[in-house]
Structure 1
Amino acid sequence: MVVDKPAGLLTQPGLGPDQQDSVITRLQCQEQGLRLVHRLDRDTSGVLLLARRADALRRLSSLFAARRVNKLYQADVEGGLEGRGCIASPLARLSRQPPRYGSHPDGRLALTIWRVRAACSNSTRLWLRPLTGRSHQLRAHLAELGHPIVGDPIYGDAGRARRMHLHARALSFRHPFTKQRVRLIAPDARFDTAC
């Protein structure tokens, strides 16, 4: 099952009674056997993949673990960027509350490819392709590049926008059972300011 997750909704329940509302808890009210294949941060919108059966969960999870799922994100970042590039740095958790990640020699290697989609007056719209799947990878990488995601409450200036401008636009992979090429595309991002 594929859903277009809205920004502001947890993918799975968090800690505490005020963080129990989530995509998975809402969907499991309709279909109990659903399981998350991967996760998106609360403030990230877009394509989210779930499995209905245990064998589908195992096979899809192994595709993610083997880096056989292509992920495409759209983001608005602060400031001006040109062209394209690759960010490679080892990321580790630097603090717990709030959870914050950044470059650290003991971290795990994280790779992000970026390309400019459009230039705006005070920001740049990017296509992002994470080659690894580390926590907060895109957010931490762009902040370290000096161009945090617009509206990011941890790595940037949350006051500039009503929501974080990060959107999971597409996933593509070979179907684990049929081997057919699958491309799942979310509608274009609905950010509060136009780029």
Structure 2
Amino acid sequence: MVARLDIDELSGAGGAVRLLHADARLLVVDKPAGLLSVPGRGADKQDCLATRVQALYPDALVVHRLDMATSGLWLMARGLSMQRQLARAFEQRDVCKRYQAVVAGRPGGDDGWQAIDLPIGADWPNRPRQQVDPVHGRPAVTRWKLLGPGPLPGTSRLELEPVTGRTHQLRVHLQAIGHPIVGDALYAPEGIAAAAPRLLLHATELALPHPADGAPAHWTSPAPF
């Protein structure tokens, strides 16, 4: 495997993208907040993480996504066969992703990992918002652990592990238990949304059996807040 790289060749208007790892099968990059993962609709939404990476690695293909407002570790496959293999790894939950978030208030409960198990579905009249939907929603589970106080008064820092991968899952689940993520313009009340210049959610860890030989592969990115 190739050693960690730190380059800024993927910079653009949305901020610098660090390429952390590159080998013949996969790429790991560190996405800045405010940059789309894939192209959106319209000429003004074509700059994105995928196209920046593909400028250097034309065979790079998308395996999963991060919200535009979320920063942190993102995995891409080298070629169609590897895209299918890594997609199966996600489906079989062989890929572990962890995040850090700063939330309003202090979630209660015992120390250690706890779970939010609430189904999520589209909030059709208010798209792209999602919502907890016990009737039509799909199963969604998030594990969380209190790390300590957050950087702002009245906030807490949490470690999060999505067991499932629903759209906006972490944001919806934390809002549903009364602790929305600071800086979340979609789900947090106005005062909490305006308390930070960005969504305070960052993908900090990515781990999986490397498709080359099954050996454990692990990357980290410290939260920038």
Distance 1:158 1:13 in 2: 25
Distance 2:50 2:125 in 1: 24
Moved more, 74-83 or 108-117: 74-83
Scaled by the length of structure 2, the TM-score of the pair is 0.81
Q: Offset of 1:26 from its aligned partner?
A: 1.2
Q: How many residues align?
A: 190
Q: Offset of 1:176 from its aligned partner?
A: 2.0
Tell whether the 8 Å contact from 1:98 to 1:154 is kept in structure 2 after alignment. Answer: no
Greater share of strand: 1
Equivalent residue of 2:85, what SS? helix
Residue number among 98, 108, 114 corresponding to 1:72 in the alignment: 98
| Structure with larger Rg | 2
Residue number among 172, 189, 194 corresponding to 2:223 in the alignment: 189
Identical pairs, percent: 43
CA-based RMSD of the aligned residues comes to 1.3
Runs of 4+ in 1 over 4 A off after TM superposition: none
Match of 2:202 in 1: 167
Distance 2:74 2:96 in 1: 13
For structure 2, list consecutive stretches of 5 or more residues without a partner in the other structure: 1-26
| Residues 74-120 of structure 1, C-alpha deviations (whole Å, 9 max, x = no match) | 00001112434210011000136541111111111000011000124
Match of 1:92 in 2: 121
Query: 2:145 aligned with 1:115, yes or no?
Result: yes
Match of 1:155 in 2: 187
For structure 1, list consecutive stretches of 5 or more residues without a partner in the other structure: none
Q: Match for 2:132: what amino acid?
A: S
Distance 2:161 2:208 in 1: 14
Equivalent residue of 1:29, what SS? helix
Query: 2:104 aligned with 1:52, yes or no?
Result: no
Scaled by the length of structure 1, the TM-score of the pair is 0.93
| Residues 133-161 of structure 1, C-alpha deviations (whole Å, 9 max, x = no match) | 11000000000011000000100132111
